[in-house]
C-alpha cells in the first residue's frame, strides 16, 4: 500500500499514478481494431463460461461492455440463455450503482451520463444498490489488475463501493475482472479502500489470485 494518487498527476517512471496508468491502458484499447475486439470477446466468453463459479451461480452481477472494453455481450446472452439470473448496473448520480435484471438485448437502453462514455443500461425495474448482495459471482470492469488482484478501475469508485458493500454484508461472491492479456501486470498502486478481486479472465485464460 503506498497511498498515492486518486486524482494525482500523470505517471512518472518509478511511481506511476492511477491516472497516468488509466490513460496508458485506455490508449492501448483505442488501438484495437473491431476485429481484434470481436475475436477477443468470443474467446473470453468461452473461458468465463467454463468458470465453475459462474456455472454454479444462480445470480451473476455483470455489466454491458461498450467501445473497446473486453466484450461481455456474448457472455451475457449465454448466461441468460442457460437460466442464470443476470443483474446489470445502473449508474446513479453519486457514482453508486443500482441494479436491474438482464432480459435480453431488447431490455437495454443507451444512456449518456455527463462526462462519461455512453453506456448501455437495463431498462427493467430497479432493485436498489443492495441487490448486488444477491450475486454469487460479480463480473467487474477494469483497466488492469496486478498479481495480488489489485484492480485499476475507471476512477468513479462505483465498484469500490460495491466491494465495500459486499464486505460489510459478509457475502463472499466470486470477484472476476474481465481484461485483455496485456492488462494483467506486475503492480498496480493500491489504496486502502481497494479490495482485491479473485480472478481475471482474459482471452488467454483464467488467472487466479486467491
Ligand X SMILES: Nc1nc2c(c(=O)[nH]1)N(C=O)[C@@H](CNc1ccc(C(=O)N[C@@H](CCC(=O)O)C(=O)O)cc1)CN2
Ligand Y SMILES: Nc1ncnc2c1ncn2[C@@H]1O[C@H](COP(=O)(O)OP(=O)(O)OP(=O)(O)O)[C@@H](O)[C@H]1O
Q: Is 99 in the site for ligand X (CB under 6 A)?
A: no
List the one residue out of 47, 195, 30, 54 whose CA is nearest residue 137.
Answer: 54
| Least distance in angstroms from the C-beta of 9 to ligand X | 14
Indicate which of ligand X, ligand Y, none lies near residue 99 (CB less than 5 to 8 Å, by partner kind). Answer: none
Q: Which does 43 bind (CB under 5 to 8 A by kind): ligand Y, ligand X, none?
A: none
Closer residue to ligand Y in complex, CB, 129/155: 155
When asked if residue 66 is in the footprint of ligand X (CB under 6 A), the reply is: yes
C-alpha cell at 179: 481484461
18 is annotated as contributing to ligand binding? yes
Which does residue 116 bind out of ligand X, ligand Y, none, counting CB within 5 to 8 angstroms by kind?
Answer: ligand X
Q: Is 80 helix (H, G, I), strand (E, B) or coil?
A: helix
CB 159 to ligand Y: min, Å: 4
Half-sphere exposure of residue 133, counting CA atoms within 13 Å on the CB side?
12
Annotated binding-site residue? 20: yes
Q: 138: which strand partners?
A: 61, 175
Is residue 204 marked as binding? no
- Where in 151-180 is the site for ligand X (CB under 6 A)? 153-156, 158-159
Q: Is 91 marked as a binding-site residue? A: no
Q: Rounded CA gap, 210 and 196, in Å?
A: 9
- What is the CA angle 54-60-65, rounded to 5? 100
Amino acid at each position: 500500500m503506498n497511498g498515492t494518487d486518486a486524482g494525482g498527476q500523470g505517471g512518472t517512471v518509478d511511481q506511476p499514478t492511477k491516472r497516468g496508468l488509466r490513460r496508458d491502458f485506455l490508449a492501448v484499447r483505442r488501438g484495437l481494431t473491431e476485429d481484434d475486439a470481436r475475436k477477443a470477446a468470443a474467446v473470453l466468453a468461452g473461458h468465463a463460461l467454463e468458470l465453475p463459479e459462474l456455472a454454479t451461480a444462480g445470480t451473476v452481477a455483470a455489466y454491458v461492455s461498450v467501445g473497446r472494453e473486453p466484450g461481455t455481450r456474448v457472455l451475457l446472452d449465454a448466461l441468460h440463455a442457460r437460466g442464470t439470473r443476470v443483474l446489470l448496473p445502473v449508474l446513479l448520480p453519486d457514482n453508486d450503482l443500482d441494479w436491474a435484471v438482464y432480459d435480453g438485448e431488447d431490455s437495454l437502453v443507451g444512456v449518456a451520463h455527463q462526462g462519461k462514455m455512453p453506456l448501455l443500461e437495463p431498462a427493467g425495474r430497479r432493485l436498489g444498490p443492495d441487490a448486488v448482495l444477491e450475486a454469487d459471482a460479480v463480473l467487474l470492469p477494469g483497466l488492469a489488475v496486478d498479481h495480488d488482484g489489485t484492480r485499476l478501475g475507471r476512477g468513479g469508485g462505483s465498484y469500490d463501493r460495491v466491494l465495500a458493500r459486499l464486505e460489510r454484508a459478509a457475502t463472499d461472491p466470486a470477484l472476476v475482472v474481465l481484461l485483455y492479456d496485456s492488462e494483467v501486470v506486475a503492480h498496480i498502486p493500491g489504496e486502502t479502500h481497494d479490495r482485491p478481486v479473485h480472478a481475471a479472465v482474459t482471452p488467454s485464460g483464467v488467472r487466479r489470485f486467491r
